[in-house]
Amino acid sequence: MSQEMLAPLLCLIPAAPLLSAVITALLGPKLLKYRSHIPCWSALAVSFAASLAVLLLLPQQNSAATAGFIPPPDMVAAPEAESGAATAPAAIPTLAPTTAADKPEVVVYIGEWLALEPAPETAEVNPADTIPDKNRQRSGMRVPLELRVDSIASIMLAMVTGVSLLVALFGSGYMHHDPGYPRFFAAVSMFVFSMCMLVMSNSFVMLFVFWEMVGLCSYLLIGFWFRKPSAAAASKKAFVVNRIGDFGLIMAIFLIWTSFGTVDFAGVLGNPDRIQAIAATNSGVITLICFCLFLGAMGKSAQFPLQVWLPDAMEGPTPVSALIHAATMVTAGVYLVARCTPLFVLAPQAQLLVTGTGAITAAIAALIALTQTDLKRVLAYSTVSQLGFMFMALGCGAADPGLATMAVTAGMFHLFTHAFFKALLFLAAGSVMHAMGDVIDMRRFSGLRKALPITHWTFLVGAAALAGVPLLAGFWSKDEILAVLMAASRTGEHRLFFGSILVVASLTALLTAFYTFRAYFMTFWGPEKFPEEAGHHPHEATPIMAWPLRILAVAALLIGLAVGPTHLFSNTLAKTTGLTPFEAHFHLDVMALSVFIASAGIGMAWMLYVVMPKVPGTIAVVLKPFYVISQGKFYLDEILYVLVVLPLRGIAFLSTLYDRLVIDGLIDSLGTVPRVLGDRIRSLQGGVVTAYAGLMWFGLVVLVVICLGIS
């Protein structure tokens, strides 16, 4: 397959939603109105088709055959391996040998975005370049706008555009007759554009640009109903907390730039020799870079202690929660860490941090999810928890660098399956909310399985997939995570660490199965009860909402089976730069464990919420302190408020006081000096002639004395 065919396809993936966003934003309010979904649907359909084509065609890409291809200046498709070879002529054997042949990549050059490379002539003229001065270093910042697709990106793209399309379909039914209908579709289109660009970026700076752009879309969509004070507050919180993570990412970019001299993926990640050389001379830098990168990932992927924004983000419309805050954007952090595997394998401390943070996050979020009564919040905490699972897996390379690929595969696989079943769960929850007149508190409705049959069975599939019921999507991916953790707990010096992480992961998986089915039973079982907002006959999802649910349910049922045990996923992913193909096995012991975990969790939920519905109340009373802590979300919001927000506000208040009283006061009192002096001197010129005469005499005497003294 030739480059020339893939390049236009690549451009089409982000271009279509961008066009749709611009059209909807400009024409939506006046012209399109309640037809605003049309550009969005068509654009996403085009993107999805193009992504699928790229996913299928990319493996047939023969880089070696086109290596000599010289790119024309305007629109270019060049194999990345070429530039990688150009920047690293010296070949040293490394951990992750990459050969161009089995790492298919396509890069489309669109233009220069930021170029501060000095003109070559200028550099020639100056002969004093040999003088060692750090200001003389001329490794300019150059950030071209390029679209790059490799295996990991092609998987992400297919997932993102596919889920987006289904969510957009669902959204047109869900947002039916909302006054902000055009705004919704403009923002969703913009989001898909940004997310695709994030995935396809070819440098850390471009990644950061679109990392922020998806954050903007998230901000706009969380605050979609901006008249609601809680939505306005949640959107701001999401943006600011994410900025803390962005701080880390910026620092990482600067560190990469100063140590590698470039911010290109090809020059950094695709250049193992350079990484080795830097690690050899200054190993701390790589670790620091990884810490900073992970800080960025923590913000976007809601890891402890920056997870506080994600549950609040549920203030946005439910399709947004499904798309941005469950399936796609929040997984960008996982994608970033996975993408940067070549760096992380050299920083075991950073990997341990990744796993540890993931474990803490997963456990805390699962414990909170146990007692929440808001269906969407349960799902939100479950998202946080599942993201924790992905990070737990990603850090397993610390035990043994050989495990790195398996770890990344497990994490990415869970990301992939999670996108489908979590989007499904959110959309089903949205369908419930739609039918219940926007009530989402599970205490106010129950027994919906007869009133909402489609919603019921699709939710059940999603819940089963999340709980890890055998053969469903979540089963395979969670299984791989547990397997890699088990492998890590058997090798290397961190055996104890990974052993305890494995225990945490298993317990969290148990909790996951329990709280998921608790929510399911509370919503769909028990006596039939509707809130008054729903009216007497709650309506089942309209076809435009039901079909995305059905499709996603089928995906949640089958996708794990289709790509997991067949190794389709792992084999495709292994073709990414920095990853090595590995021999995957079936882990019967792990499988037995996870089957036990899932059935135990579901069984407990069944016992407590269907068979003996009185018992949970009793338990809550008996274990009151624990119940209160979980119900209160571990008071993390309050703790952060007291530890961070309040002190900063205090300092801010003190700063203004200091500004007004001390700094400004000092300036003002300096300003009075001339006046005070003037006042003193003015009294000498009172206009009294005798006083002047006296002064004259006094002056004369002084002069005479001085003259005498001198002579």
Partner 1 sequence: MQALLFLVLAIPAATAVLLMLFRSSLTVDNSRWVAVTGAAGTLLLSVFLLASYYATGPAALETGKQLKVSSAPATAVIKPKIEFVQPWLDTGRLKLELYLGIDGISVAMIALTALLTVSAVLISWEAIRDRAAEFYAALLLLQTGLIGVFCSFDLVLFYVFFEMTLIPLFFLIAVWGGRDRKWAAVKFFLYTLAGSLVTLSGLLYLVLYVSSQPEPLTNPTNLPALTAWLQKFPLTPELQTTLFLAVSAGFLIKVPVFPFHTWLPLAHVEAPTAGSIVLAGVLLKLGTYGFLRLCLPLFPVAAVTVGLPVIGLLSVIGIIYGSLCALAQSDIKKLVAYSSVAHLGFCMLGLFALNTEGITGSVLQMINHGLSTGALFIIVGMIYERYHTREMSELGGLATKLPRIGVSMVFISMSSIGLPGLNGFVGEFLSLAGMFKANPLYSALGTTGVILGAWYLLTAVQKVFFGKLREPHHGEHGDHGDHEIEDMNAREFLALFPLAALCLFIGVRPAPLIDIIRPDVELVVERIADASAKAVPGAPAQPSAETAEAAAAEL
Binding footprint of partner 1 on the chain (CB under 8 A) = 111-116, 118-122, 124-128, 131, 133-138, 140-141, 205, 208-210, 212-213, 216, 220, 223, 226-229, 231-233, 235-236, 239-240, 243-244, 246-247, 250-251, 253-254, 257-258, 648-649, 651-653, 655-656, 659-660, 663-664, 667-668, 671
Q: Which of 290, 428 has the CB closer to partner 1?
A: 290
529 phi/psi in degrees, rounded to 5:
-150, 130
Q: How far is the CB of 296 from partner 1 (least distance, A)?
A: 12
SS3 107: strand
Least distance to partner 1, CB of residue 153, Å: 20
Task: Identify whether the C-beta of residue 200 lies closer than 8 Å to the C-beta of residue 14.
Answer: yes
Q: How far is CA 155 from CA 58, 159, 326, 482, 605, in A?
A: 11, 6, 17, 22, 35
Longest dimension (CA), the chain: 121
For the beta carbon of residue 99, count every other beta carbon within 10 angstroms. Answer: 9
- Closer Cβ to partner 1, 208 or 525, answer by number: 208
Q: Least distance (Å) from partner 1 to the CB of residue 220? A: 8
Between 73 and 89, name the residue whose CB sits nearer to partner 1.
73
Question: Is the CB of 656 or the CB of 690 nearer to partner 1?
Answer: 656
| DSSP bridge pairs for 78 | 107
CB 143 within 8 A of CB 119: no
Nearest to 488 by CA among 596, 564, 576, 410: 410
**What six digits make up the tokens of 160?**
């993102």
Give the whole-angstrom CA distance, residue 508 versus residue 516: 12
In the complex, least distance from residue 667 CB atom to partner 1, rounded to whole angstroms: 6
283-300 helix and 204-222 helix, angle to the nearest 10 degrees: 20
Measured from the CB of residue 442, what is the shortest distance to partner 1 in angstroms?
28
Q: Which is nearer to partner 1, 678 or 686 (CB)?
A: 678
Residue placing its CB nearer to partner 1 in the complex, 214 or 404? 214
Q: Are 248 and 289 in contact (CB under 8 A)?
A: no
Among 553, 516, 554, 319, which Cα is nearest to 427's? 319
Cβ proximity to partner 1, 144 vs 453, nearer residue: 144
Give min distance, CB of 222 to partner 1, in A. Answer: 11
CB of 243 to partner 1, least distance (A): 5
Question: Minimal distance in Å, beta carbon 100 to partner 1?
Answer: 31
18 vs 96, beta carbon nearer partner 1: 18
Least separation in angstroms between residue 258's CB and partner 1 is 6
- Interior CA angle at 352 toward 95 and 159, to 5°? 75
Nearest to 440, CA basis, from 359, 499, 503, 522? 522
DSSP assignment of 368-414: HHTT--BHHHHHHHHHHHHHHHHHHHHGGGGT-GGGHHHHHHHHHHH
Residues 310 and 302 sit within 8 Å (Cβ to Cβ): yes
Min. distance of Cβ 505 from partner 1 in angstroms?
32
> Which is nearer to partner 1, 217 or 454 (by Cβ)?
217
| Contact (Cβ atoms closer than 8 angstroms) between residue 377 and residue 308 | no
498 CB contacts (<8 Å, ≥6 apart)?
Answer: 355, 396, 399, 485, 488, 489, 492
SS3 317: coil
Which lies closer to partner 1 via its Cβ, residue 34 or residue 653? Answer: 653
Q: How far is the C-alpha of 242 from the C-alpha of 325, rounded, in Å?
A: 13
Q: Output the six-digit token pair for 487.
A: 């492998």
Q: Name the residue nearer to partner 1 (CB basis): 217 or 487.
A: 217
When the beta carbons of 42 and 655 are compared against partner 1, the nearer one is 655
Nearer to partner 1 by Cβ, of 232 and 629: the residue is 232
CB of 205 to partner 1, least distance (A): 8
Residue 86 identity: A
Could you report how far apart the first and last alpha carbons of the chain are, in Å? 108
Least distance from C-beta 483 to partner 1, angstroms? 39
Q: E-assigned strands of 238-364?
A: none
**112 vs 638 by CB, closer to partner 1:** 112
Listed residue (369, 355, 26) closest to 189, CA to CA: 26
Query: Minimum distance from CB of 140 to partner 1 (Å)?
Result: 7
Closest distance of CB 121 from partner 1, Å: 3
DSSP H or E stretch at residue 237: helix 229-260
Asked whether 138 and 118 are in contact (CB, 8 A), the reply is: yes
Beta bridge partners of 511: none
Pairwise CA distance, residues 626 & 621, whole Å: 10
The Cβ-side half-sphere exposure at 553, using a 13 Å CA radius, reads 17
CB of 238 to partner 1, least distance (A): 10
Q: Which is closer to partner 1, CB of 127 or CB of 709?
A: 127
